[in-house]
A and B are shown apart, each in its own frame.
Chain A
Amino acid sequence: MGTTKSKNWQYFLGPLSKDNPVIVQVLGICSALAVTAQLKPAFVMTLSVVVVTAFANLIMSLLRKGVPGRIRIIVQLVVIAFLVILVDQVLKAFVYDVSKQLSVYVGLIITNCILMGRVEAFALSNKPWPALVDGAANGVGYGIILLMLGFVRELLGSGSLWGVRVIPDEWYIQNGGFYANNGLMMLPPMALVLVGIIIWVHRSSKSNKDLIEK
C-alpha cells in the first residue's frame, strides 16, 4: 500500500517539473502561445485541460482491456471529443465571455498532443487510479506554464492582472509618468520567447542538468 501511494505521488510530481509536458516534452505549445495573453483565459484553459486529460486517462484505462488495439485510436478520439464538447458546453453556459476569448482553442484541446500522448503512453497500460493521477498531473503541469505566461504577459502587456489594473495610471507616459505597456507581450512570438526563457531557467537548476541535450 505504502509503495503504491508513493508511486502515485511520483506520477503526480513528475509532470510538474522533470517531465513537464510543455517545457520538457514540448507539447501543447500552440495553445500555450494562443490563450495566455491574459491570466483569466489561461486559467480557464488550464482547468479545461486538467478535466479532459484526467477523465480521458481514467475512461481509457477502464476500457483498456475491452478495446482492440487496431481501433484504439478512434476510440480514444471519441472519448476525448466527448469530454471536450462537454467542457465546451459548460464554459459556454457559465463563463460565456471567456469562452468567446478562448474561441477555437477549447475545441482544439482534442488535438492537444498531451492528451493522445498520455492516453497512449500511460492509460492503456495502467490501472484507473494511477491513470487518473497521471492525467490530472499532466494537465496541472501544462497549466503551471500557462499561468506563468499569462501572469507575465498580462502584467507587462496590459498592466493588469485578472482584468484588474495593477500598474497605477499616473505611471503612464500619457499621464505624465514614464511607463508604457509592452505591446510585444501581447503577440504570440514573445510568448514563445518566454517559453524559451522558462526552459532555460528550468534546465539551469542543478537537479535538471540531465535534461540538457548534448
Chain B
Amino acid sequence: MISQILKKVVDGVKPTFDKGGKLSFLHSLFDAVETLLFVPDTVTKKGAHIRDAVDLKRSLIVVVLALVPALLFGMYNTGLQHFRAVGDVAAEASIWGCWWYGFVRMLPLILVSYVVGLGIEVAFAQRRGHEVTEGYFVTGMLIPLIMPIDVPLWMVALAVAFSVIIGKEVFGGSGMNIFNPALLARAFVFFAYTPFISGDKVWIRGAGKGGEYIDGFSGATPLTQLGENAEQMLANANVWDWIVGTIPGSIGETSVIAIAIGAVIMLATGVASWRIMLSVVAGGWLTGLLFNAIGASPVMDMPAYYHLLLGGFAFGAVFMATDPVTAAQTNVGKVVVGFLIGVIAVLIRVVNPGYPEGMMLAILFMNAMAPLVDHVVVGFNVRRRLSGKLTKGRA
C-alpha cells in the first residue's frame, strides 16, 4: 500500500530529473533514492567485484543488516563502559539505559560519516555524470564502528573525506579502489591524530576530558594492557567478557558474539566468502600457536585463541577482509591472502611493541598484495592447463 503510493510519487517527479527536466542536475541523487526504494530492472555492470546478476545495492544491504548486531551491542557497551568508569552501579545494571546512552553518543558519528561520505560521492557522481555508487552504504556504517567513541567529529569527517577522495574516487570510484575505504579512514585517523585513537583514554565516553573515575579503573583495551604489562593482563584474563564484548575498544569490534551473528547472516546469503573468514582465523591461530612454541615472553605464551577474541581480529576477519572489492578474486588467492592477514596481524601484535593492534595494518597490507597473489594464481592455472590437461586431452 505505502510502497504503491511511494512508487506513484517517485514516478510522478521522475521527468523533472530526467534529461532536459528542470532539476536534471540532481539526476544522480534522484537515481540513488529511486534504486534504494525499488529494485531496479537494471543490473550493475561495472566494477572489479561484480559477480552476480543483482543490483549491487541489494547485496550491500545484507552487509548493513549483518552489521546491526555489532552496532546495537556497541551502543550498549558504550553506555556500560561509561557507567562502570564513573561507578554508577544503578545505571550500569539497566540495559536500556546503557543502550540509550550509547545510542545518543553514537548517532552523531554515524550521521557525520554518511553526510560527508555521501555528499562527496554525490558531488563526484554529478561532475562525472554517472549514478551515485552504492559502495558507501556499507563503508559509512563501518567507519563509526571502528572508531573510538570519543573521537572528535571533525576528525571523522576529515578521515571520511580522505578515504572517499584519495582512497576511492581517484581510482575511479566504487569497485575500483585498492584499499578498503573504511580501514583507510581509520588508518588516516590513526597516523594523523594518534592520541585520539590509541592509549587508555579514548575508548570510554568522557575519559579524554578529565572525567571523574572511581579508583583503580583502567580504560585501556585488553591489547593495550597486554602491551604494557602482559603478566598482569593475562592473570586477570576474563575470556567470557571478551566473547560477550563488555570490554573497552572501538565501538563495534568488542563483541565476538554479535560479530558471529553478522558472519552467519553474510555466509547464509552468500555475500561474504567463507574461505576468507576461515583462512584469516586459521592464519591468526596457527601463528599464535607458533609463538606459543617459541615462548620467549609472556606475550608469546598467551594462549593462541586469545588473539581471535581480542581487539579487531573478529571484526576485521568478518567485515573487512571479506570486502569483495579489495580481497583476492581467485579461490586459492582468497585462502592465501586471508591466511597472511591472520599471520601478519598476530605478528604485529606480538613482535612490534609500537602497535598493540595489527589487524588494520595487516588487512591494508594484504589489500595491496591481493592483485599480485591473484596474478600468480592465474598464471599458475594457465601454465598447468597448458602443460598437463590439454596434452593429455589430445593424446
Q: Which A residues from 170 to 214 make CB contacts under 8 A with B?
A: 173, 178, 180, 182-185, 187, 193, 196-197, 200
Q: Does B379 contact A (CB under 8 A)?
A: no
Given contacts A173-B152, A178-B152, A178-B154, contact A184 B188 (CB under 8 A): yes
Given contacts A193-B166, A200-B170, contact A183 B152 (CB under 8 A): no
| Known contacts A183-B192, A200-B170; 11 further A-B pairs (Cβ under 8 A) | A178-B152, A178-B154, A180-B152, A180-B155, A182-B192, A182-B193, A183-B191, A183-B193, A184-B188, A184-B191, A187-B191
Question: How many interface contacts (CB-CB < 8 Å) are there between A and B?
Answer: 25
In order of increasing CB-CB distance, the 8 nearest A-B pairs are A184-B192, A182-B192, A184-B191, A183-B192, A180-B193, A183-B194, A193-B166, A183-B191
In the bound complex, residues from chain B placing their C-beta under 8 Å from that of A184 are 188, 191-192
CB distance from B193 to the nearest CB of A (A): 5
In the bound complex, residues from chain B placing their C-beta under 8 Å from that of A183 are 191-194
Within the assembled complex, what's the spacing in Å between the Cα atoms of A184 and B185? 12
Prevailing SS type, chain A contact patch: helix
Within the assembled complex, what's the spacing in Å between the Cα atoms of A166 and B192? 19
In the bound complex, residues from chain A placing their C-beta under 8 Å from that of B155 are 180
Which single member of B152, B192, B196, B208 contacts A185 (CB below 8 Å)? B192
In the bound complex, residues from chain B placing their C-beta under 8 Å from that of A185 are 192
In the bound complex, residues from chain B placing their C-beta under 8 Å from that of A197 are 166
CB distance from A155 to the nearest CB of B (A): 14
Within the assembled complex, what's the spacing in Å between the Cα atoms of A185 and B188? 11
Within the assembled complex, what's the spacing in Å between the Cα atoms of A182 and B188? 10
Q: Are A180 and B170 in contact (CB under 8 A)?
A: no
Q: Are B191 and A180 in contact (CB under 8 A)?
A: no
B-to-A contact residues, CB < 8 Å: 152, 154-155, 166, 170, 188, 191-196, 208
Within the assembled complex, what's the spacing in Å between the Cα atoms of A200 and B170? 9
Within the assembled complex, what's the spacing in Å between the Cα atoms of A184 and B166? 14
Q: Are B166 and A180 in contact (CB under 8 A)?
A: no
Within the assembled complex, what's the spacing in Å between the Cα atoms of A182 and B196? 11
Given contacts A173-B152, A200-B170, contact A180 B188 (CB under 8 A): no
In the bound complex, residues from chain B placing their C-beta under 8 Å from that of A178 are 152, 154
15 A/B residue pairs, CB under 8 Å, sorted by A: A173-B152, A178-B152, A178-B154, A180-B152, A180-B155, A180-B193, A180-B195, A183-B192, A183-B193, A184-B191, A184-B192, A185-B192, A196-B166, A197-B166, A200-B170
In the bound complex, residues from chain A placing their C-beta under 8 Å from that of B166 are 193, 196-197
Q: What does the 1/0 interface line of A147-173 toward B look like (CB < 8 Å)? A: 000000000000000000000000001
Within the assembled complex, what's the spacing in Å between the Cα atoms of A159 and B6? 51
Within the assembled complex, what's the spacing in Å between the Cα atoms of A43 and B194? 29
CB distance from A198 to the nearest CB of B (A): 13
In the bound complex, residues from chain A placing their C-beta under 8 Å from that of B192 are 182-185
CB distance from A127 to the nearest CB of B (A): 43
Within the assembled complex, what's the spacing in Å between the Cα atoms of A160 and B18? 50
CB distance from B161 to the nearest CB of A (A): 12
In the bound complex, residues from chain B placing their C-beta under 8 Å from that of A196 are 166, 170
Within the assembled complex, what's the spacing in Å between the Cα atoms of A173 and B208? 10
In the bound complex, residues from chain A placing their C-beta under 8 Å from that of B154 are 178
In the bound complex, residues from chain A placing their C-beta under 8 Å from that of B194 are 183
Within the assembled complex, what's the spacing in Å between the Cα atoms of A183 and B170? 23
In the bound complex, residues from chain B placing their C-beta under 8 Å from that of A193 are 166
The residue of chain A having its C-beta at the shortest distance from the C-beta of B187 within the complex is A184
In the bound complex, residues from chain B placing their C-beta under 8 Å from that of A173 are 152, 208
Most-contacted residue by chain B among A178, A184, A185 (CB, 10 A) = A184
In the bound complex, residues from chain A placing their C-beta under 8 Å from that of B170 are 196, 200
CB distance from A159 to the nearest CB of B (A): 13
Q: Which A residues from 105 to 146 make CB contacts under 8 A with B?
A: none
CB distance from A199 to the nearest CB of B (A): 11
Within the assembled complex, what's the spacing in Å between the Cα atoms of A47 and B195? 37
Within the assembled complex, what's the spacing in Å between the Cα atoms of A196 and B170? 10
CB distance from B360 to the nearest CB of A (A): 15
CB distance from B316 to the nearest CB of A (A): 21
The residue of chain B having its C-beta at the shortest distance from the C-beta of A197 within the complex is B166
Within the assembled complex, what's the spacing in Å between the Cα atoms of A196 and B167? 12
In the bound complex, residues from chain B placing their C-beta under 8 Å from that of A180 are 152, 155, 193, 195-196
CB distance from B177 to the nearest CB of A (A): 15
CB distance from A174 to the nearest CB of B (A): 9
